[in-house]
């Protein structure tokens, strides 16, 4: 697991170790005036998937939404994606490009266009999972990726 731990706040209902969420980046104008804004959302990047790795005992009341929020530690989650089989090499650093496909009914579509993965970002292939049969004939393999920064 990555050691890039970020402190943030989530609603009490979601404050469970292992819970994953996509930070969409949308915040109300009221949020920006909140004293908790910097820890709540400022350190999160829009469009990324985060995983809760630790739940702290500190709680607050969200003044905007009225709900109880909990302090948690998150990291950017590893993601399963489909890549060309030729680059599906454990330990390889790749520049991600989504599979060029618009077959929305395909059972693998979400792996070809995964949430939280951005084109041209650098990723390390953490694990090669399985080669899949693509209806369009592409040679694709499911892998587990972790984004690498400063590469």
Q: Is pLDDT of 3 > 80?
A: no
CA distance 12 to 59: 8
CA distance 20 to 95: 24
Q: What percent of the chain has pLDDT over 70?
A: 97
Q: Is pLDDT of 1 > 50?
A: no
| Domains in the chain: boundaries | 6-76, 79-147
- The whole-number pLDDT of residue 2 equals 45
Instruction: Enter the pTM of the model.
Output: 0.86
pLDDT bracket for residue 142 (50, 70, 90)? very high
Phi-psi bin for 123: left (phi > 0), alpha (psi -120 to 50), beta? beta
Residue-wise pLDDT for 68-120, tens only, equals 999 999 999 999 999 999 999 999 999 998 888 889 999 999 999 998 898 88
Sign of CA dihedral 11, 26, 62, 59: positive
- The whole-number pLDDT of residue 151 equals 65
- The whole-number pLDDT of residue 94 equals 95
60 contacts: CB under 8 Å, gap ≥ 6? 9, 36, 68, 69, 70, 71
State the average pLDDT for the chain: 92
- The whole-number pLDDT of residue 51 equals 97
Sign of CA dihedral 100, 105, 106, 112: positive
């Amino acid at each position: 697991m990555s050691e890039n731990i970020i402190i943030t706040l989530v609603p009490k209902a979601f404050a469970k170790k292992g819970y994953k969420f996509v930070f969409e980046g949308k915040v109300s104008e009221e949020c920006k005036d909140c004293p908790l804004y910097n820890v709540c959302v400022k350190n999160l990047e829009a469009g990324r998937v985060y995983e809760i790795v630790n739940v702290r005992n500190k709680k607050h009341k969200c003044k905007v939404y009225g709900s109880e929020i909990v302090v948690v530690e998150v990291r950017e989650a590893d993601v399963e994606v489909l890549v060309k089989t030729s680059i599906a090499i454990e330990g390889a650093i790749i520049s991600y490009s989504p599979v060029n496909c618009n077959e929305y009914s395909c059972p693998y579509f979400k792996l070809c266009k995964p949430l939280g993965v951005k084109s041209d970002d650098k990723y390390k292939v953490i694990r090669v999972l399985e080669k899949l049969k693509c209806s369009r004939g592409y040679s694709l393999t499911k892998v587990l990726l972790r984004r690498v920064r400063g590469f």
